[in-house]
Amino acid sequence: MTEPNKVTAGDTITWARSVPDYPASAGWTLKYAIRGPADINITAAADGDDYAISVTAAASGGWTAGNYWWTAYVEKGSDRHTVATGQIVIAANLTGTVGTYDGRSQVKKTLDALESLLLGKSTAGDISNITIMGNAVTRMSADELIKWRTHFSQLYAQEQAAEKLAKGENLGGRILTRFT
């Protein structure tokens, strides 16, 4: 098993990594720098020539949910080499959540707000305020609302496609062939 692409804060997380050019038995140390809503640093344990990574439930319990980017690198003395990079999603630990929880992405929340405004647009007139991509908007025409809804619909479709790919699901596209 290699680096996971999704984990849940508060879970025990383990994986293994082989780095043939930099074996643990030769004195190399494998480390991970994980960056996103918070900074996470992990040092792997030597397992023969390979590396074993283990994060306790207590340690991951303090992680902030969100999208993160990671770099795996090895060190030995003053030498340092990047061996892999990637992305990981840290999901919220719902067992530690009290009260209302909204697990929608920010893109989905914005899309839902825009669609709600458009449904009421025929009787409500222009909107008074909404936040789009961190910017407060105080007046918006129907055409502007439709433009933003189209934009966020595309972003949401990309999120859904990425989730399906991560789960190994079919994206539902057609494969066309031509016989000659």
> From the first residue on, what is the mean pLDDT of each consecutive set of 10 residues in the chain (180 residues)?
89 96 97 96 97 96 92 97 95 80 83 83 50 67 85 89 77 75
Q: Write down the pLDDT at residue 24.
A: 97
Q: Write down the pLDDT at residue 121.
A: 54
Q: Write down the pLDDT at residue 59.
A: 96
Q: Write down the pLDDT at residue 124.
A: 44
DSSP symbol at 84: E
Q: Write down the pLDDT at residue 43.
A: 98
Q: Which residue has the tokens 């859904």?
A: 160
Domain edges within the chain: 6-93, 106-167
Residue count (the chain)? 180
The residues pairing with 137 across neighbouring beta strands, listed in sequence order, are 130
Report the C-alpha gap between 108 and 152 in whole angstroms: 8
Q: Write down the pLDDT at residue 128.
A: 56
Q: Write down the pLDDT at residue 49.
A: 97
Q: Write down the pLDDT at residue 96.
A: 66
Please tell me the class of the 6-93 domain. mainly beta
Q: For the whole model, what pTM was predicted? A: 0.64
Do residues 157 and 171 make contact, with C-beta atoms less than 8 angstroms apart? no
The residues pairing with 138 across neighbouring beta strands, listed in sequence order, are none
The residues pairing with 72 across neighbouring beta strands, listed in sequence order, are 32, 84
Handedness of CA 122, 138, 108, 62 (dihedral sign): negative
Of 180, 170, 122, the closest CA to residue 146 belongs to 122
Do residues 114 and 155 make contact, with C-beta atoms less than 8 angstroms apart? no
SS3 133: coil
